[in-house]
Amino acid sequence: MTESTPAARAPRYELRYTGLFDRGHGFAFPCDAEGHVDLDKLSDLVRRNYLYARAVVGRELSLPVIALVTR
């Protein structure tokens, strides 16, 4: 029998940016239920990708959506 910790049962969310011209292109970043991304918890590469995604909203990527991760 395994015990579930509260963190294991807590819902997880992602902030998802989808490509405007190529729906298969996009980014997803861990966030809270309100869509806040903790930059301090991201690696340098993921942080750069997040800042890039924010910068190209409306030109290459759609506005982000908050998605519940179900896996």
In a domain, 19, yes or no: yes
Note the pLDDT tens digit of each residue in 32-50.
Answer: 999 999 999 999 999 999 9
In a domain, 32, yes or no: yes
Domain contains 1: no
Domain that holds residue 47: 6-69
What pLDDT, on a 0 to 100 scale, did the predictor assign at position 57?
Answer: 98
Contacts of 60-64 spanning 24+ positions with Cβ under 8 A: 60/19, 60/20, 60/21, 61/17, 61/18, 61/19, 61/20, 61/26, 61/27, 62/17, 62/18, 62/19, 62/20, 63/17, 64/15, 64/16, 64/17, 64/35
* Predicted pLDDT of residue 71: 77
Task: Look at residue 15 and tell me if it is in a domain.
Answer: yes
